[in-house]
Structure formats: C-alpha cells, structure tokens
Amino acid sequence: MSSEQYAVAMADLRRGIGQGQLGPAIQQFLGRLDVGKAGIQQWIQSAEELLRGNLAVPAGLVLEAGLNRWASSTTLRYLYGIALRLSGHVREAEQMFREVIAAEPTHADAPLALAFMLREQGRLAAASETVLALWGRHPRTRMGDIRTLRFLQECQRHAEAEEISQDILDANPRDAELLAITGEISLVLGRFGSARRRLRLAAELDPRQAAAWLRLAHTHKFTRADDPDLVLLEQAQTRSDLAEAASLCAAFGLGKVYDDLGERARAAQVLRKANAESRAAFPWDLRGWQRFVERQLRARVPLPLPVDERVVPVFIVGLPRSGTTLVASQLGKHPDVRNRSELNWIAALAAQLGPEPASGALSTAAHLYRSQLRQDDAPARCYVDKNPLNFRHLGLIAAMFPNARIIHCRRDLRDTALSLWSQHFAHDDMNWAYDFGDIGDYARGYQTLMEHWRKVLPLRVLELDYESLVANTAADLKRLFTFLGLPPLPAADKPAADKPVSDKSVPDKSAEKTPRRAAPRDAIATASVWQARQNVYASSVGRWKAYAPLLPEMEKLGVDVGAGAPRADRGTK
C-alpha cells in the first residue's frame, strides 16, 4: 500500500469516526488495507496514530484484525493491550501485556505499561514485582535504576527499593542523584546510619541535590556542636554556588540542628530568614483560601453511597504537625489496620468531581479511592489515610464512605505553628506555613470548616488532643481502638509504658535494625520521620514557650485564633 493510499484511507477513517459512523468506517479502512496489501508496519502505524488521537476503540478494532493476520506479533499485541487499557478493559489488557512479556521477556514497554496499570488499580505489590522483574531482566542503565527506585517509592515499597539500593550504588558509587534517592529511602525505613552516609555524600558531591541537605538534618538528633554534619550545613550558608532550592533546604536543616542543640536564638534567626525567603518565593493566596472555605460552607453535601462494609476507611485529619503521623504509626501496629500514610487522592477527586457530582461519578471515584486503600496485600478491617488536609473535603468523604471514621487531631496552635514554621514543605498546599500571620489565617478557615462539618455531617468523629495522647498514651490508644471497633492491641505490641519520656533520650538504635523486607506500613515519609520512630515523648508540649521571647508573633495566635481547637467536645460524635 503506497503512502498516498494510506494517507487517504486514514483521513477517510477519521472523517467517518467524526461523523459517528465507526463501524462502516472501520470496515472500509480494513478493506483498503487488505486490497492495498498493507504490511505489518502500516497496521502498526495506523494503530499508533489512532492511539495518539485518543481513539482507543477504533485502534483496538484495527489491532484485533491485525492479530488475526500476525498472531505472533508482540508489537501488535502490546498496542492492543494499550487500546484495551484506554478503553477500560483492564483485565483483558493485563492478559495482553502478560502474553507479550511471556513471548518476549526482554520487551521494554509491556512491563512498564502493565506496572502503571496495576498501580492505577491499587495493586501496588504486583506493580512493584513487575518493575523489579523488568529491572532484573534488562541490562542495567542509570536511568533504568532511577526509574525503578522512583516507581517503588511511589508504590510505598521502600523495603524492596532498599534491597536493590546497594547493588545500584555499587555500580554508581559517586552518583549524587542516586545517593540522594537511596538516602531518602533509607531514611523513610528508619535506617538512619545508611541514610546519613548517603545523603551527606550526595550533598558533598553535588550541592544541587536540594532535598539531601534537608534530609541530612533529619537523620539523627544533634547533640554535639562539632558534629560534622552541622559543620557542613553551616558552610552551606556561606556558599555562593547553591541554587535557591538547595540554600533554603540547607537553612531549614540548620534551623532544626540548632533547635536540637538548644541554641534557640540561632535557630530562630536562621529560620526567620529562611521563612521570609520561602514566603517571597511561594506566595499564598489568602482570598483564595477564604473563597474555598465559603464554597464548602454553602455546598450541598451529596447523597451518600451505599456502604461497603468490607472496608472501613479511617481519615486522620487536622492541621499538619498536630500529631497525625504519631496517631497513624500507633494505629498501624494493630494487625487489623493498614496504614497507607498520606494519600493525595481525596483532593484530586474533589477537584475532578466538582461541587455537585452525579451519583455515577461519585461511585466511580469511591471505587477508585477504595482500590488505593485496599491494595493487594493482606486484607484488614481498617485502612488509614493520614493526609491531614483531608479536613477540607469531609463532605465528599461522607458521601463516598458513610461508614468512614474520622480522627480529628488537635494541638495547641502555638506549638503547631512553631513546628510548621520550622519545616520546609515545598508544596503549594503548604505555602501558608512560612508566616505566623498566614498560619493564623489558615487556622481560622480550618476551625470554621471543622465546626461546620460537626454540625452537618453524620460521620463518626473522634476528637483527639495531642497533649492527652502523649500524657495518657495507653488510655487514648484504647479509646482509638474502641472507636474503630477493634480488639485491644496484642500485648507484645503495646506501648512500653504510659509515662511520657523526654525526646532528649539516647537515639533509638533499634531503628537501624529495620528488617530488609519490612512491611509497607513501616515506612514513614513525612517530616516526622525521626520523631515517629522514638518512644512517645511529652517535651514537645508547650515547646512554643521557649521561643516566645524570640518569636512574639506566636503569642498573637493564642489570642486572635485560640490556642487550639474547641475543647468542649472531647468525645465521639
């Protein structure tokens, strides 16, 4: 078939599809390919063009006909899998991809397509196994190593990523980007020694590895003024070759180090400058936040979907740095709980659904999110999403999951604000965290929304104060498990004591002994990565008071906003 004949045939096919004549147009197109004795490359070309044009169904019909001619073609079969996936036929697509992999184990694209599709379905273990098999079969490349590690991180399979990290570093011992990635993986798993070595070398080799500077400060609690990591972070403040992102990360890391050492004046000085620069670089839209809150107050809560009793979603909400990671990590110790850490699905679904979603779209969204909770590991009763900012969308949550449980974490706003102000978040949702006035304005909206949800939603909500949790850990955990309908925690997993301990204790050496094949719920990827692995301690309660003379703006939060959430209702709705 000549190129001119092919172009005419494809143009006629597109025209017929545009006119709603898919069947006749496809039949005419396939007839022309037969008459013109088109080779397999033209069949492949036509399918690829249709797929690029978002015409998955016509592409699938062309590919199905092509496979009747060239049944052994892995290229046609792979493209057919793509067409099936885009058409919503995921089971058939999976079969196609697996047939390609079986017939051509070195096929580079089919395993990736299968892995991404499995991840979309929440089958994260299967997706990770597919990517690891691809990594093991193919010749090693730097980009392939990075792609594999990143994919495993996104699937929360940090333990599997750690297993291959050393092999990757052995082949690339001085690759700063790989050192930074593997260092972060070690940090998430609590392998603090490995994390410290890798992140320090990454920053030394390539100062542009911005996150390495910040993560390095979180690999241990600093107790000595001559700590070499402190010297490195201090030197970063005088360097002229650091980009803005790296300079900010190093500054926030240094602020954390000075706080560890009790040098509050130096910490406040460094952090004040870093926050001012961050606020200038990442401005926050106060009016946009106020409009969002007003829209939520006016919005009609959609009618609830039928309850799926097989899954009990548990949402831990509140202001960030109010104890959500601590609560999630404690719940995750229970055998009937799966801690999925911070998922970003609820906000994304809310943006896609709009203010008044149709019941069909709502049901589809609930199914999609439920699959991300359920995943493909051992089943449990409760699945935890500890994204604190989900408080913004409790109306949507109530509609999708009427049986959801909400754990509302509350903490003295001044302590919360100081902790927020001491962190570098690098996310647009957190641009309000670089100024105490902005934190106060955001907190007003948060409190308004929570009061509104309490009045209008039938959701079961447990109010949990950080100050109570660290002082009465065992009692509050019992209250949590009762609220979730769970039996008491097995004796071996219970907290060692109800008495709070100081965070100035000797670092937890057992953290470095994390098993190589740790369960996904053992990973902690938030700013609380160090604290959450220590014994529960109470020294963060009232921490703001030590900084009050240096940061008088915090006092204003207690007067204008209120030191914390309303305390009248401490029970369960």
pTM of the model: 0.87
Is the pLDDT assigned to residue 521 strictly greater than 50?
no
CA distances from residue 104 to 72, 95, 138, 363, 378 in whole angstroms, order as listed: 10, 14, 12, 38, 31
Please report the pLDDT score of residue 367 as a whole number. 94
Phi/psi at 4 (nearest 5 deg)?
Answer: -70, -45
| CB 550 within 8 Å of CB 262 | no
As a whole number of angstroms, the distance between CA 250 and CA 242 comes to: 10
As a whole number of angstroms, the distance between CA 325 and CA 534 comes to: 12
| CB 501 within 8 Å of CB 537 | yes
Q: What is the mean pLDDT of residues 262-283?
A: 97
As a whole number of angstroms, the distance between CA 327 and CA 405 comes to: 14
Closest-CA residue to 14 (of 48, 64, 55, 60): 55
Q: How many CB atoms lie within 10 A of CB 313?
A: 23
As a whole number of angstroms, the distance between CA 151 and CA 99 comes to: 23
As a whole number of angstroms, the distance between CA 213 and CA 224 comes to: 18
| CB 134 within 8 Å of CB 126 | no
Residue position matching structure tokens 């970063």: 236
Please report the pLDDT score of residue 3 as a whole number. 87
Q: What is the mean pLDDT of residues 194-204?
A: 97
Q: Which residues pair with 338 in a beta bridge?
A: 383
Edge to edge, what strands does the sheet with 312-317 contain?
337-339, 382-385, 312-317, 405-410, 460-465
CATH class (in words) of the domain with range 1-139: mainly alpha
Is the pLDDT assigned to residue 405 strictly greater than 60?
yes
pLDDT tens string 376-402: 999 999 999 999 999 999 999 999 999
Please report the pLDDT score of residue 535 as a whole number. 56
- Please tell me if the domain spanning 1-139 has the same topology as the one spanning 141-281: yes
Q: What percent of the chain has pLDDT over 90?
A: 80
Please report the pLDDT score of residue 536 as a whole number. 58
pLDDT tens string 143-186: 999 999 999 999 999 999 999 999 999 999 999 999 999 999 99
Residue 561: pLDDT band with limits 50, 70, 90: low
Please report the pLDDT score of residue 404 as a whole number. 97
The DSSP line for 450-472 is HHHHHHH---EEEEEEHHHHHHS
Is the pLDDT assigned to residue 84 strictly greater than 70?
yes
Sketch the domain layout of the chain as residue ranges.
Answer: 1-139, 141-281, 288-472+536-562
Residue 43 three-state SS: helix
Please report the pLDDT score of residue 122 as a whole number. 94
Residue 503: pLDDT band with limits 50, 70, 90: very low
Closest-CA residue to 35 (of 27, 45, 23): 27
Note the residue count of the chain: 573
Q: Which CATH number fits domain 141-281: 1.10.10.350, 1.10.10.10, 1.25.40.10, 3.40.640.10?
A: 1.25.40.10
As a whole number of angstroms, the distance between CA 336 and CA 341 comes to: 16
Tokens for 273?
């400058």
Residue position matching structure tokens 């400060």: 217
Q: What percent of the chain has pLDDT over 70?
A: 89
Q: What is the mean pLDDT of the chain?
A: 89
What CATH superfamily classification does 288-472+536-562 receive? P-loop containing nucleotide triphosphate hydrolases (3.40.50.300)
Alpha-carbon torsion 293, 297, 298, 300, what sign?
A: positive
Please report the pLDDT score of residue 509 as a whole number. 39
Tokens for 237?
């403040």
Closest-CA residue to 400 (of 351, 343, 446, 346): 346
Query: What radius of gyration do the chain's Cα atoms show?
Result: 27
Q: How many CB atoms lie within 10 A of CB 381?
A: 18
Is the pLDDT assigned to residue 567 strictly greater than 70?
no
Q: Which residues pair with 314 in a beta bridge?
A: 384, 405
Closest-CA residue to 520 (of 67, 139, 122, 35): 122
Is the pLDDT assigned to residue 494 strictly greater than 70?
no
